[in-house]
């Protein structure tokens, strides 16, 4: 039972263009959403978050959009840089009760120079 899906296992984008990574979830109780970036042989690194009371959060080149009615979030990277090449995970969670984050399967982004 996959509560979190990242349907694109991989994505290639030219340097300087926009990268859009998508994530769908099924549990309407999720109220906090994280994005992580992971390089090979390293642990996931926190990138950006959004709470369910917002529909957009921006941090430099990274913007996360949340569409609660569609249970969909996306990460936009503009402009994309070769150093952004990594695997990106979305991780929705609940902040009430015994909270935990459920990770998607990841999207491998390759930014071409």
Partner 1 sequence: DTAVSQTPKYLVTQMGNDKSIKCEQNLGHDTMYWYKQDSKKFLKIMFSYNNKELIINETVPNRFSPKSPDKAHLNLHINSLELGDSAVYFCASSPGQGYSPLHFGNGTRLTVT
Residues near partner 1 (CB under 8 A): 32, 34, 36, 41-46, 49, 51, 87, 89, 91, 95, 98-103, 105-106
- Minimum CB distance to partner 1 smaller for 18 or for 46: 46
- Minimum CB distance to partner 1 smaller for 7 or for 95: 95
In DSSP notation, 31-53 reads -EEEEEEE-TTS--EEEEEEETT
Q: Report the SS3 class of residue 12.
A: strand
The three-point CA angle 33-36-90 to 5° equals 45
- Minimum CB distance to partner 1 smaller for 4 or for 20: 4
């Amino acid at each position: 039972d996959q509560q979190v899906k990242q349907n694109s296992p991989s994505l290639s984008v030219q340097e300087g263009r926009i990268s859009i990574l998508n994530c769908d979830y099924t549990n309407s109780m999720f109220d906090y959403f994280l994005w992580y970036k992971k390089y090979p042989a390293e642990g996931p690194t926190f990138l950006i978050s959004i709470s369910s009371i917002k529909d957009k959060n921006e941090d430099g080149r990274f913007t996360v959009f949340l569409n609660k009615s569609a249970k969909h979030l996306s990460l936009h990277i503009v402009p994309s840089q070769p150093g952004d090449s990594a695997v990106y995970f979305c991780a929705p969670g609940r902040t009430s009760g015994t909270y935990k984050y459920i990770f998607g399967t990841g999207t491998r982004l390759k930014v071409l120079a």
